Amino acid sequence: MSEITKIQLGQNGPMVSKLGLGCMRMSSVWGELTPDETESIATIHQALDSGINFLNTGDFYGAGHNEMLIGKAIKGRRDEAFISVKFGAIFHNGQWIGLDLRPVAIKNFVNYSLTRLGIETIDLYQPCRMDDSVPIEDIIGTIAGLVEEGKVRHIGVSEITAEQLRKANSIYPISALEIGYSLADRQIENDLLPAAKELGISVVAFANTAEGLLTGDLQAPLPVDNYRNHFSRFQDDNLVHNLEKIEVLKQMASNKGFTPTQLAIAWVKEQGNNIMPLVSMSRRARLPENIAAMEIVFTPEEMNVLNTTFAIGAIKGGTYLQR
Ligand SMILES: NC(=O)c1ccc[n+]([C@@H]2O[C@H](COP(=O)([O-])OP(=O)(O)OC[C@H]3O[C@@H](n4cnc5c(N)ncnc54)[C@H](OP(=O)(O)O)[C@@H]3O)[C@@H](O)[C@H]2O)c1
């Protein structure tokens, strides 16, 4: 396996791997079975061995299970890992029931995260969303206080608007924006992505496979018990239409000798030096394929085909990433 290249986080931040490891699916977030913990830890170890130092979690992934898992995995290897933590989501019985972004809550959350991770400082700490109940000044100001206290190194944000990003960055320098971005979900190109580039904020791009749509493995109709049936993108005529688009990706992947998923990840990494594909990998077997995707280059003609086929709005229907 080749070594992953590094990029600078934010304007003056540390070097992080150009490919990030999303750890969310190593825990039960929505009530599904918890994946094999031994394999998850082995995956984190193999990722670190390959130079993937960016590990992404949230304190609500598996109600703290995900942080404890990462804590176990990085024991004795703390210096090799860059830990990114989201907070603020409130879950009950596997259901998202709201946000808590009050300063008192943030000051409380961070201590639990540090304990579960078994570390003294979180490298990147970020509210998972914003809402109108707490002024953005209070949210970012509270995290800035945690930086002063030495509990947090850098501040990030997630799933916010361009206006909120500018506002947050005016309060304290924002190092990273975590946002859903893929060939199937390109709306951020209108204003959020340009704003991040202008402000020197790194983009940590998740959902590169668009809930599996871009893997090329789905067929219409989906089995009735598939969770994707909740999203309009995977329903009825939308799914048929969308899978026709995926045929273009599959054909190009076959011509180039890669998988559709590899091309989907590679397209994201090609969108800028400041963009990191953040990919869920719960099994070691995923790593070689996704690391190899970081070496893929597209000809201008191939890029044109992808950008035309997957122009904004080309994929019908949405997922939970409604913008
Ligand atoms: N900020 C936010 O709002 C937010 C929201 C969602 C997620 N995230 C973060 O972003 C990370 C990635 O997001 P995601 O899980 O939604 O999207 P994703 O990376 O597109 O992952 C979706 C699925 O793709 C599978 N996969 C990975 N590599 C593959 C390959 N080469 N071929 C076929 N399938 C492959 C994974 O399977 P396995 O798990 O079985 O390996 C996973 O189940 C999460 O782990 C989490 O850390 C952030």
- pLDDT tens readout for residues 197-229: 999 999 999 999 999 999 999 999 999 999 999
Q: Within a domain: residue 311?
A: no
Domain count, the chain: 1
Q: What pTM value is reported for the model?
A: 0.97
CATH of the domain at 165: 3.20.20.100
Helix ranges restricted to H, 172-320: 192-199, 236-256, 260-269, 286-293, 300-309
Q: Within a domain: residue 225?
A: no
Alpha-carbon distance of 236 to 215, in angstroms, equals 19
153's CB contacts (< 8 A; 6+ apart) are 14, 121, 122, 123, 124, 147
Are 176 and 153 within 8 A, CB to CB? no
Q: Within a domain: residue 133?
A: yes
289 lines ligand 1 (CB under 6 A): yes
94's CB contacts (< 8 A; 6+ apart) are 28, 29, 30, 31
| CA 117–ligand 1 middle distance (angstroms) | 21
Q: Within a domain: residue 314?
A: no
Dihedral, CA of residue 154, residue 191, residue 56 and residue 284, to nearest 10: -140
Are 225 and 239 within 8 A, CB to CB? no
Q: Within a domain: residue 247?
A: no
Q: Which domain holds residue 278?
A: 6-210+262-297
Q: Within a domain: residue 16?
A: yes
Q: Within a domain: residue 237?
A: no
Q: Within a domain: residue 151?
A: yes
263 three-class SS: helix
- pLDDT tens readout for residues 96-146: 999 999 999 999 999 999 999 999 999 999 999 999 999 999 999 999 999
| CA 12–ligand 1 middle distance (angstroms) | 28
- pLDDT tens readout for residues 47-88: 999 999 999 999 999 999 999 999 999 999 999 999 999 999
* Residue among 25, 28, 40, 61 to mutate when testing ligand 1 (max atoms within 8 A of CB): 25
